[in-house]
Amino acid sequence: MTTTPGTDSPYLISRERLIAAPAEQIFEVLATPALHSVIDGSGTVRGEQPNGPARLSLGATFGMDMKMGPSYKILNRVVEFEEGRRIAWRHFSAHVWRYTLEPRDGGTLVREEWDGRAVRWRFVFRLTGFTRRHPASIEATLGKLEDYVLQQRDPA
């Protein structure tokens, strides 16, 4: 697991991992909202996500059942989409969750970013500890994504 070079802002947190699978297979997991709770490393995404399309595309909206303290629902919109390479979504607060996939020898370099640079009141993220927790959550998500994808390739 590595920190992405050039991401030294407390409002742009990025980690990457080389996963021994093709980008297309990894992208299918990221573009399927029903699998987001399976790969979530933060422990906040709950259950299958029934509100929205089965597969995401640019402009698609999808709901997520969340739990961070109390349970709540959040509506996201896909704001970046390049088939097999990039997908990102955001909700009302304007921070973005972004995944980029780069084919490499031996697999795909997957980068996950939490980008809060466009949020006007972003200092609240630091005050409440969100930015301190994100690196570990992103690393855990990438680990769970890798485990899920490799399990699908080689079911026991």
Are the beta carbons of 66 and 73 closer than 8 angstroms? yes
According to DSSP, the β-strands at 86-90 and 96-104 are antiparallel
How much is the pLDDT for 155? 66
pTM of the shown model: 0.86
Q: Which residue stretches of the chain are H helix?
A: 23-30, 36-39, 123-127, 130-153
- All domains of the chain, ordered by start, with CATH? 2-153 (3.30.530.20)
**pLDDT per residue over 16-63, tens digit each?**
999 999 999 999 999 999 888 888 877 777 766 557 899 999 999 998
Say which residue, 69 or 146, is predicted with more confidence: 146
